[in-house]
Chains A and B, each alone.
Chain A
């Protein structure tokens, strides 16, 4: 089944006097359980595509479908609801809410979803153990390393079992060891939970972890490689 379908997406930004085509008639299908890496030089359109898929930004034209539902025409409120229940996010930085502990950050999305305290606590503790943060649940973001913070963000992204996890340069602020550990975690979660991962990066080493590598340039897909069978 197709988790994400983008049809003929266009998005243009104005920078000073210049129009920049971030997405130029781009179409892509991503299967459920996929692990896709979007790769492009800076300004190549990978973050814009990620934002369009994540319902954080609307394209100028084209269609975005998530798990069989067209989303680019939905209201702000419906989009917020969709993000809450179907999509998990891992951003490059400023990923956690600083006044909440690791466990509270993981529980945040579940709390907005209205899940009862007991179930929230059990799920959050289980997922924190799974991402290797057992014993650190009461620490606040400022008391954790960058790698640990990203693991908390990953735990928050997957704890409520979303259909899709979007990660924008998740390893950009991590050292190579922490980056490798995070990628292995992504692979493991992708394998065990069959969660679809779409990740944007320009780090060559990180791209090798993806099953599918999509190279972009000037808002268009220039190469689509199935690394799983490569």
Chain B
């Protein structure tokens, strides 16, 4: 304890012997830590926004299907919608937000054009908090209820089909017996989605109207379930699997949309790489500072060794000096990052690059997200790698022979 005290006192006072050099290094660490945390908050905000958007673009958090549906998403793979016993089990399990859908490939035809699309038969009330449609109506109206036989299509699809509000389109698909099923619908609403692909290929119609057209009775082929946190979907997945039973396939959003799933993992990896790259740039300055500090104090180190201080204490002294330097920089960097993110809670307008960003599903307003996990990771990277970087000069200092160090000119 006595030894730790004197070693810490020496480390702290030595830090301020060349206060200009120390201040420059602290500034560099502060800036580096700020860049780590602030830029990560921006990237995290952007990616999370893309993920939330992606999840609202129909996958939901968990989906229930007949096994094999994802490989061949046809109308023949029907399941019961959660009514009666299934609904009661859903409610008893605490799952509150779900929607039953019909989703089939179809061909839509206007007076001018035809196009392959995905037809969704939905209950707009149940979908309100799950999918993007209700919040994305750009013109006309949303579907009123599951029996609504109006069609809501994307603005881009309307352009392609050269159709518009109030006009009729014909939708053609297959029924469960592989017979052609078609029907005319009037366009009642146009939506503006964040992803072009949704705007060009999705058509929404009331679920019972689609069930009538396809002759599926009251059965559906997709149940979407929403939980509280898309990042922690495992408990919900387990819950729904229990409720759905072994005969149905229950999959989380990251397996339904591999692009979205990989985005989250890639982001985590990217954050770590980003932090390490910044630290590597910092470490050159840190190592240089410590090497200079050791070089300037060779005689003192020799004296301390001659007086009986063990080499391990000399090593500890340099490492503690490095830790103090890093700690001051970390505190300042954390405060600066926090002070930079808090005023931006209303978002940063990046509309100047919005066109390019939209290709990736990013919004034109960026909301930085400061997470405790990222802040802890940045601090751990700086402390962990900082100690590693300081070991080399510390080791060198501890290896001096006392008599050679004392007489060094």
Q: Which residues of A contact B (CB under 8 A)?
A: 51, 54, 56-57, 76-77, 80-85, 89, 91, 94-95, 97-100, 104, 108-109, 111-117, 156
Contact = CB atoms under 8 A, between A and B. Distances in A.
Interface in B322-343: none
B52 to A, nearest CB: 55
Nearest to A114: B2
B2 A108 contact: no
Chain A interface mostly helix, strand, loop or mixed? helix
A91 B1 CA distance: 28
Contacts of B117: none
B307 A94 contact: no
B300 to A, nearest CB: 6
Given A98-B300, A99-B13, A56 B402 contact: yes
A114 B3 contact: yes
B315 to A, nearest CB: 13
Contacts of B310: 77, 80
B113 to A, nearest CB: 83
A112 B306 contact: no
B6 A112 contact: yes
A99 B14 contact: yes
A67 to B, nearest CB: 16
Contacts of B303: 91, 94-95, 97
Contact of A112 (B9, B309, B311): B309
A99 B306 CA distance: 18
B304 interface: yes
B307 A111 contact: no
Given A84-B308, A108-B304, A112-B3, 4 more contacts: A56-B403, A80-B308, A97-B304, A114-B1
A56 B313 CA distance: 18
Contacts of A91: 303, 306, 406
B5 A111 contact: yes
Interface of B: 1-3, 5-6, 9-10, 13-14, 17, 299-300, 303-311, 313, 402-403, 406
B6 A108 contact: yes
Contacts of A76: 311
A51 B299 contact: no
30 contacts: A56-B306, A56-B402, A76-B311, A77-B310, A80-B305, A80-B310, A80-B311, A82-B308, A84-B307, A84-B308, A89-B306, A91-B306, A97-B300, A97-B303, A97-B304, A98-B17, A98-B300, A99-B13, A100-B13, A104-B9, A109-B308, A111-B2, A111-B5, A112-B2, A112-B307, A112-B309, A112-B313, A114-B2, A115-B2, A117-B2
A84 B311 CA distance: 13
A111 B307 CA distance: 11
A57 B404 CA distance: 9
B2 A83 contact: no
**Top 7 closest pairs, chain A to chain B, by CB:** A84-B308, A99-B13, A83-B308, A56-B403, A111-B6, A94-B299, A114-B2
A80 B310 CA distance: 6
Given A51-B403, A56-B403, A115-B2, A108 B307 contact: yes
A100 B9 CA distance: 9
A108 B306 CA distance: 12
A90 B140 CA distance: 95
A116 B5 CA distance: 12
